[in-house]
Amino acid sequence: MNPEEDLKRSSAKAALRKMMALRRDELSEEERAKRSKQACAFAAEVMDRLHLQSMMIYVPFRSELDSRPLIEWAWKQGIQVIVPRSLPQDRSMELYKLQAWDELVSGAYGISEPDPLRSQKWNHPGPDIIWVPGLAFDRMGGRLGYGGGYYDRLSDRLNHGAQADARRIEKPLWVGIGYEVQVLEQVPMEEHDRVLDGLVTEQGHNVKTRPAAEG
């Protein structure tokens, strides 16, 4: 690897993150609420069409697409809701079942996360679908995250678990969810970046069927 090229790539991604965060922030609170509800309705369509019974999803922070309408819908449908808790010391995530809003506390980075004293840990290989936030997406599975690598590490962990467990025949679907203004023609990707199985915005969805585990 060329250190100079790495530095250029890193600087370009940092500039793109800043630009895309500003683009998202420019949406009014009213627009964000409206578009979030529309996107969550499309996400519910995906869940319903594929008969998915569990999902991992983030709790919204700052100007992220508001995932709470989808969480409320899942609770009403009896779908298991799993929410991550960030561990900054090794940039990993623990997964917890979320059954009520009062199980959330302010966690790492000020994000609302499950209280480990009140929420039950999710110890299964993986949920049926993982709804992934981000700063930018494209329609080929590209995603620009926040730079911490949390979701990439989770992907590696779940893939390893799927391969180690002979009974596990399917991996989770990884689907981006965001506003249409976050969609680019092409997001810069590196070898270690997780390619998504689809994308949902307020304008619709494009999601593959569930991928079979390798091996």
- 74 labeled binding residue: no
- 9 labeled binding residue: no
- 58 labeled binding residue: no
- 185 labeled binding residue: no
- 149 labeled binding residue: yes
- 134 labeled binding residue: no
Residue 114 CB coordination number (10 Å): 25
Residue 90 CB coordination number (10 Å): 7
- 183 labeled binding residue: no
- 43 labeled binding residue: no
Alpha carbon distance, N-terminus to C-terminus of the chain? 30
- 16 labeled binding residue: yes
- 87 labeled binding residue: no
Distance, in Å, from the CA atom of 44 to the CA atom of 42, rounded to the nearest integer, reads 5
Chain-centre distance for alpha carbon 104: 18
- 215 labeled binding residue: no
126 with 161: CB under 8 angstroms?
yes
- 146 labeled binding residue: yes
Distance, in Å, from the CA atom of 197 to the CA atom of 110, rounded to the nearest integer, reads 29
- Binding-site residues sit at 13-17, 59, 64, 143-151
- Binding-site residues for ATP sit at 13-17, 143-151
- Binding-site residues for substrate sit at 59, 64
